[in-house]
């Protein structure tokens, strides 16, 4: 009996070790090959590294319930728009005023937009995520078939980034999706669009808010931010608006003229040909109509969600107002 129990224990033990171990997986072996061919890692280095990589069921659980997909706007907004987040945003702005002003002058991305992204993503660096990035990306890249191509590519990018940037890939922590540092950049975004904004010779988004500021501005610029243009227009609906007239996608596939024709009106002085998208949200007082412009679309390149972009824009405006009020009181 004892013997059987021990045997059962050993079997369970070895099964779970196998399940959490990627060393024999064909996907892992393909990656090892690729990174060896590219001259980035030797197979021995990757095997040593992945000996300690574990599948994280919590990551799979979190991936299957992102808040944007479940909540309505009246529930989503208060998660991100709080007086603490506004006040901390003003404080962050004051502490990093020079870097923010420089980023704005170089890219045309408003300081409040950069601050707001940092607020929504990590509460200005207070919550950068506690998952080992290598575990999170391996779990999603190897054990989450719907998004495996995306995350296995990000895993490769993460390994290359670690090597390029002299970081230990076993130590870096981030979100359950492998987003890192103050701005929660994915590895490919870090490699493509992050910048060394304080000029110390390395890009550090984990501990350096100045590099994070410059990198967010550069990310927005790289995704086509148009300086001086608006983000959204508040709108009102006349008559019954058919579901076809409101979008659930993020692209500005229609024009202000076509939107007005469908009964969604807004006060503005923009050209009727301006590319735009209309959408409906469930606010505290029922349906709200909004018109997203090109820069709204650019914000969604950070996170592909209408409510995310709305929250970022609202928080940016509130932080700016609060900062201006503070400046006025000080004078
Ligand atoms: Ca730097």
Whole-number Å distance, alpha carbon 96 to ligand 1 midpoint, is: 14
Residues within 5 A (CB) of ion ligand 1: 196, 198, 200, 211
pLDDT at 2: 45
Whole-number Å distance, alpha carbon 126 to ligand 1 midpoint, is: 19
Whole-number Å distance, alpha carbon 204 to ligand 1 midpoint, is: 6
**Pick from 5-14, 246-255, 322-331: least confident:** 5-14
Confidence tier at 253 by pLDDT (50, 70, 90): confident
Whole-number Å distance, alpha carbon 104 to ligand 1 midpoint, is: 18
Q: What is the pLDDT of residues 26-69, one digit of tens each?
A: 999 999 999 999 999 999 999 999 999 999 999 999 998 765 55
Active-site residue flag, 75: no
Cβ-based neighbours of 27, under 8 Å, separated by 6 or more = 141, 142, 148, 152
Distance (Å, rounded) from C-alpha 88 to C-alpha 269?
A: 34
Tokens describing residue 162: 């670690």
Confidence tier at 12 by pLDDT (50, 70, 90): very low
Tokens describing residue 99: 């870097």
Cβ-based neighbours of 125, under 8 Å, separated by 6 or more = 118, 182, 209, 212
Confidence tier at 238 by pLDDT (50, 70, 90): confident
Collapsing DSSP to helix, strand or coil, 71 comes out as coil
Q: What is the pLDDT of residues 182-232, one digit of tens each?
A: 999 999 999 999 999 999 999 999 999 999 999 999 999 999 999 999 999
Catalytic residue among 112, 121, 157, 288: 121
Residue matched to tokens 């009964």: 263
For the segment 82-92, the average pLDDT, to the nearest whole number, is 98
pLDDT at 271: 97
Whole-number Å distance, alpha carbon 93 to ligand 1 midpoint, is: 19
Tokens describing residue 10: 């050993």
Whole-number Å distance, alpha carbon 202 to ligand 1 midpoint, is: 5
pLDDT at 252: 86
Q: Please state, rounded to an integer, the average pLDDT across all residues of the chain.
A: 92
pLDDT at 242: 78
For the segment 107-129, the average pLDDT, to the nearest whole number, is 98
């Amino acid at each position: 009996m004892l013997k059987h129990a021990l045997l059962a224990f050993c079997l369970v033990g070895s099964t779970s070790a196998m399940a959490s171990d990627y060393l024999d997986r064909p996907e892992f072996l393909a990656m090892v090959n690729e990174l060896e061919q590219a001259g980035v890692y030797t197979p021995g280095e990757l095997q040593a590294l992945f000996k300690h990589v574990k599948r994280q069921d919590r990551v799979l659980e979190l991936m299957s319930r992102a808040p944007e997909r479940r909540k309505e706007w009246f529930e989503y907004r208060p998660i991100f728009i709080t007086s603490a987040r506004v006040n901390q945003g003003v404080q962050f702005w004051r502490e990093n005023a020079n870097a923010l002003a420089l980023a704005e002058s170089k890219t045309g991305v408003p300081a409040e937009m950069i601050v707001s992204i940092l607020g929504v993503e990590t509460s200005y660096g207070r919550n950068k995520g506690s998952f080992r990035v290598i575990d999170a990306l391996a779990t999603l890249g190897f054990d989450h078939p719907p998004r495996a191509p995306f995350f296995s590519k990000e895993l490769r990018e993460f390994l290359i980034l670690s090597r390029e940037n002299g970081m230990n890939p076993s130590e870096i922590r981030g979100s359950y999706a492998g987003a890192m540092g103050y701005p929660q950049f994915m590895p490919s975004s870090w490699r493509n669009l992050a910048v060394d904004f304080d000029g110390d010779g390395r890009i550090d988004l984990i501990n350096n808010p100045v590099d994070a500021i410059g990198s967010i501005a550069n990310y927005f610029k790289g995704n086509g931010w148009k300086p001086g243009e608006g983000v959204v227009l508040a709108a009102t609906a006349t008559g019954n608006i058919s579901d076809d007239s409101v979008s659930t996608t993020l692209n500005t596939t229609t024009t202000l003229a076509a939107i007005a024709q469908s009964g969604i009106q807004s006060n503005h002085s923009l050209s009727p040909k301006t590319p735009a998208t209309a959408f409906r949200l469930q606010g505290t007082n029922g349906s709200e109509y909004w018109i997203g412009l090109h820069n709204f679309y650019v914000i969604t390149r950070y996170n592909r969600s209408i409510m995310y972009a709305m929250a970022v824009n609202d928080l940016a405006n509130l932080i700016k107002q609060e900062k201006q009020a503070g400046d006025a009181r000080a004078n």
